[in-house]
Structure 1
Amino acid sequence: MADHLEEQELEAEALAAIFDTAFEIISTSATDEISNHWKISLYPIDTLDEDECLEVNHICCNLIVKLTQNYPEELPNLEIDIIRGLGPEQKETLESIAMEEAEQFLGMPAIYSVCEKIREWLADNNVKGLDDQSMHAQMLRKAREQELKKAQAEKEYESQKIKEELTQAEAEEIAVRKRRAEGTPCNKENFEAWKEKFEKELAEKEANDGDDDTPTDKASKKEAAKRKAEEEEMESRLTGYQLFSEKLGLANFDALEKAAEEAENEEGDIESELNVDDLDVDEDLFDEDEDLDDLDFDSDEDDDDSDEEELDI
């Protein structure tokens, strides 16, 4: 019991913060059967200016709330008090709406939800003449109610359609995630299909890239390709040493150097050991040449001898 009264007190504080002066505590008691008695003024359009409120709000009412000691475990006692623009028929409609909403929140604080439901109805029916009980006015109200019901049905249909689309999209997303998790088995057929698709896309991309190029771009690309080819050719050229080494081999090159050194040494030895007298000369070759007769070989020998004598002196 004490917990219920404390919960009702907290709900009263929340309603006072929300509705401000439109919320009024008529009475409160911890011992009576009716523990709390409240009044809440409800308008289709909230406004602070009183004159503007009367101008824009053609209908309005008070919600009278009576709570028992066991609320919210028990339903509240709800009553509609008409302020302006409403008739007995609308009063019954609003009271029915209020009780249906309270039943949905049984076991929980429900007064705020009830107020919002009533304000929604007031906003949809904020027109003059609802309190007119003439036959003409009643016919107009019924026609309007039918229009409202039709609009509400369309709204619910669109809402349901969106919900179904979202549900379908979620199902497709779940299926996609499942396929990604499981993966696609790779076989010959799948690979061939993928390869064909990939090559087709690659060819289309290359064709599109080629079509988009201007003549200047094509010439620039051609010149760049030519320069690149020349640079690659220059980089791939071998030096003279590399050419010689690759042709003969480094081992052959070393052997050639060694052979050249040995040849030089042998040539020196041969010159030192060479004796003209040991040479086999065919003198007949010189006899046949008449020009050789004019040569004075003896004078040369005499000169050599005189030189040797002078050196001895």
Structure 2
Amino acid sequence: MSDQHLEEQEMEAEALSAIFDTAFEIRSSSQPFVWAVKLVPVDCGGDEEEEEAANHVMVKLVVNVPLDYPEVSLPVMDLEIVKGLSDDNKKELLAVANNEAEANTGTPSIFAVCEAVRAWLADNNVKGMDDASMHAQMMRKQKEAERREAQAAQQFESQKKIDEMTEAEKEELAVRKRREEGTPVNDVTFPAWWAKFTAEKELEQSTAHDDGGSERVGGKGEVEEKLTGFQIFSEKAGIFSLEKLEAAAEELENDTSALDPEELGEVDEELFDDDEDLDDLDFDDDDDESDEEPEI
């Protein structure tokens, strides 16, 4: 036994207690541990009266935990019949529990075993399971046959719906399935994808080269350099273009020189000959007065 085994067993017991609550009990708190779990087909949330009415079969799964469980040994299990099962049922159900534990070798498996046992109880949650008479056995076999027949009918109807789907619906379903699953990458699909990808890239490069790429060939064999982002912005915004500014100034000058002086009207020159009137204003007096100290 190692400390790791002990820690794993204690953690599993804690998890089972949290899941099953009062249905889980520790019968031996020292190693080797012994646990017990009460299992019913229908969980009624702890209501005992409702649980008694809804469940016709009940068992307790008793687990003896080996010291080297779960890495090495399987749990040693037994069943205690609480309600509604015969000894033959017990043997059958115990086989279900052991098979589930075997399927989970090397890992904590008690919860999985409990779920398998509970599923069997749910499928056999009928009165009279503990009746060993021939009549009771016949009735159980008949009900089991009816249950299997119902399952087969349900599967048949599901398959029938699929068969009756139109081609378009089948194609749509296939597309959805492919989208969900995706395309697997393997030795067959990757070379095909790579060939397609390289062909597309070569075509793009060839098209870009034909169009001139970063250069454009003029009509006279001249090569025009590709404009920078600043140049494109300046050109589109109409700024930072000296040629355009000069052209605009020249156009304005031409328009001004073309104006007829008569159309501009006569200019009143007397408006600009009133400088003599300004001589009467004495600006120094105000400054002198402001410099004088006030009398107290």
Q: Find the aligned partners of 2:77 and 2:152 in 1 and give their Cα distance.
A: 28
Amino acid at match of 1:9: E
Partner of 2:21: 20
- For 1:80, what is the secondary structure of its paired residue? strand
1:7 aligns with 2:8: yes
Decide whether aligned partners of structure 1 residues 16 and 167 sit closer, same or farther in structure 2, where only a CA change above 3 A counts.
farther
Residue identity (%): 46
Amino acid at match of 2:138: M
Decide whether aligned partners of structure 1 residues 98 and 23 sit closer, same or farther in structure 2, where only a CA change above 3 A counts.
same
Cα deviation for residue 173 of structure 1 reads 7.4
Q: Find the aligned partners of 1:156 and 1:113 in 2 and give their Cα distance.
A: 26
Cα deviation for residue 29 of structure 1 reads 2.5
What is the CA deviation profile of residues 76-96 of structure 1, one whole-angstrom value per residue up to 9, with x for unaligned ones?
Answer: 011111001111111011100
TM-score, normalised by the number of residues in structure 1: 0.50
Q: Find the aligned partners of 1:49 and 1:121 in 2 and give their Cα distance.
A: 22
Partner of 2:91: 92
Partner of 1:206: none
Amino acid at match of 1:44: P
Partner of 1:66: 64
Cα deviation for residue 106 of structure 1 reads 0.5
Partner of 2:178: 170
Cα deviation for residue 148 of structure 1 reads 3.6
Q: Find the aligned partners of 2:180 and 2:10 in 1 and give their Cα distance.
A: 49
Cα deviation for residue 168 of structure 1 reads 9.4
Cα deviation for residue 174 of structure 1 reads 5.1
Partner of 1:253: none
Cα deviation for residue 2 of structure 1 reads 1.4
May I ask how many residue pairs the two structures share in their alignment? 178
- For 1:62, what is the secondary structure of its paired residue? strand
Cα deviation for residue 28 of structure 1 reads 2.9
Q: How does 1:1-313 map to 2 (within 5 A)?
A: 1-30=2-31, 35-47=32-44, 48-72=46-70, 73-151=72-150, 169-170=177-178, 182=196
- For 2:65, what is the secondary structure of its paired residue? strand
Amino acid at match of 1:27: S
- For 1:68, what is the secondary structure of its paired residue? coil
Amino acid at match of 1:60: M
Q: Find the aligned partners of 1:3 and 1:51 in 2 and give their Cα distance.
A: 42
Structure 1 unaligned blocks of 5 or more? 186-313
Amino acid at match of 2:85: L
Decide whether aligned partners of structure 1 residues 78 and 148 sit closer, same or farther in structure 2, where only a CA change above 3 A counts.
farther
Amino acid at match of 1:81: E
Q: Find the aligned partners of 1:173 and 1:23 in 2 and give their Cα distance.
A: 41
Amino acid at match of 1:75: L
Decide whether aligned partners of structure 1 residues 91 and 5 sit closer, same or farther in structure 2, where only a CA change above 3 A counts.
same
- For 2:99, what is the secondary structure of its paired residue? helix
Cα deviation for residue 144 of structure 1 reads 2.2
Higher helix share: 1
Q: Find the aligned partners of 1:45 and 1:127 in 2 and give their Cα distance.
A: 12
Cα deviation for residue 125 of structure 1 reads 1.1
Partner of 1:207: none
Q: Find the aligned partners of 1:151 and 1:107 in 2 and give their Cα distance.
A: 37
Cα deviation for residue 44 of structure 1 reads 0.7
Q: Find the aligned partners of 1:3 and 1:37 in 2 and give their Cα distance.
A: 18
Cα deviation for residue 140 of structure 1 reads 1.1
The alignment's C-alpha RMSD in Å is 3.6
Amino acid at match of 2:11: L
Q: Find the aligned partners of 1:68 and 1:91 in 2 and give their Cα distance.
A: 23
Decide whether aligned partners of structure 1 residues 13 and 50 sit closer, same or farther in structure 2, where only a CA change above 3 A counts.
same
Q: Find the aligned partners of 2:48 and 2:62 in 1 and give their Cα distance.
A: 22
Q: Find the aligned partners of 1:167 and 1:84 in 2 and give their Cα distance.
A: 51
